């Protein structure tokens, strides 16, 4: 997974930088509102809301904004009715793409996502066309600096992890069942491992190798989708070798 893993690391760093921008606040507010609507406003009993609140704090969101978002979700304050949808399609080179969105207008968002696919050499497909290629997983990232690989792998597996990938240059990637991601994160943090992040993801079963000709097109489409205000996550099954990533910048 060298190329895909390396790009995942780049994407993660980009997300941290983007957290300084106001647009990310909008996405986090939507996530907190939906999480509170589905699971209640108590972060102690709502792992999804706890994760969203942690993200809000990491993005320096004021406490009052966090409180209002949760109250809109629980119905204590009036708010917009958001729904979660997943769109599917293909990028250039036959790369499968899943797009998770949060929207208050499914028709507008669906049309705009389809247009992004078309304008960037891809095509939006019917429901189910690529979803079967992905499996929901938890992913805990642990910084590599100062960490023993053997010790981490042993402790992660003891905590309930399913797999540990080591090929990302900056961090270990600890994969778990979705329901176990918080448990594994907390177990590793308790052992003083430098946990960088923990999230629910869609992990591709197989990867599509993408060469120098298609790589810029694939990345352009993925970035265009990620830049849409309603898009929460973009998952894709491309594998771009490090040397190709380096060449295209």
Q: What is the pTM of this model?
A: 0.81
Contact 13, 23 (CB under 8 A): no
Question: For position 244, what pLDDT does the model report?
Answer: 84
Q: What angle do CA 198, 203, 208 make, to 5 degrees?
A: 135
First-to-last CA distance in the chain?
19
Q: Provide the CATH topology of domain 2-74.
A: Arc Repressor Mutant, subunit A (1.10.10)
Q: What mean pLDDT value characterizes the chain?
A: 89
Angle between helix axes 63-74 and 22-39 (nearest 10 degrees) is 40
CATH superfamily of 133-204: YebC, transcriptional regulation domain (3.30.70.980)
Give residue-wise pLDDT tens across range 149-205.
999 999 999 999 999 999 888 899 999 999 999 999 999 999 999 999 898 999 999
Domains 2-74 and 83-124+206-248 alike in fold:
no
Contact 119, 225 (CB under 8 A): no
Token couple for 116 = 């992004």
Tell me: pLDDT of 13 over 60: no
Give residue-wise pLDDT tens across range 107-161.
999 999 999 999 999 999 999 999 999 999 999 999 999 999 999 999 999 999 9
H-only helix segments in the chain: 2-18, 22-39, 47-58, 63-74, 106-119, 149-158, 181-190, 215-226, 242-248
Domains of the chain by residue range: 2-74, 83-124+206-248, 133-204
Question: For position 14, what pLDDT does the model report?
Answer: 54
Does the domain spanning 83-124+206-248 belong to CATH 3.30.70.980? yes
Tell me: pLDDT of 248 over 90: no
Phi, psi angles (nearest 5°) of residue 193: -75, 145
Question: For position 131, what pLDDT does the model report?
Answer: 96
Name the least confident of 8-17, 116-125, 232-241.
8-17
């Amino acid at each position: 997974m060298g190329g895909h893993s390396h790009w995942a690391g780049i994407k993660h760093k980009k997300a941290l930088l983007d957290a300084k921008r106001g647009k990310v606040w909008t996405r986090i507010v939507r996530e907190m509102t939906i999480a509170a609507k589905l699971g209640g406003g108590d972060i102690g009993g709502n792992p999804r809301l706890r994760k969203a609140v942690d993200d809000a704090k990491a993005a320096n969101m004021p406490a009052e904004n966090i409180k209002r978002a949760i109250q809109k979700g629980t119905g204590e304050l009036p708010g917009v009715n958001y729904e979660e949808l997943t769109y599917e399609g293909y990028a250039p080179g036959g790369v499968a793409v899943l797009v998770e969105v949060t929207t208050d207008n499914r028709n507008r968002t669906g049309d705009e996502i389809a247009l992004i696919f078309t304008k960037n050499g891809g095509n939006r497909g019917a429901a189910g066309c690529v979803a079967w290629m992905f499996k929901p997983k938890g992913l805990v990232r642990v910084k590599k600096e100062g960490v023993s690989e053997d010790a981490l792998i042993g402790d992660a597996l003891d905590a309930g992890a399913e797999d540990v990938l080591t090929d990302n240059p900056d961090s270990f990637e600890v994969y778990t069942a979705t329901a176990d991601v918080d448990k594994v994160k907390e177990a590793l943090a308790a052992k003083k491992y430098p946990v960088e992040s923990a999230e629910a993801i869609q992990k591709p079963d197989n990867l599509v190798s993408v060469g120098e000709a298609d790589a810029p097109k694939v990345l352009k489409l993925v970035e265009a989708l990620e830049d849409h205000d309603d898009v929460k996550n973009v998952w894709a099954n491309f594998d771009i070798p490090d040397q190709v990533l380096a060449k295209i910048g």
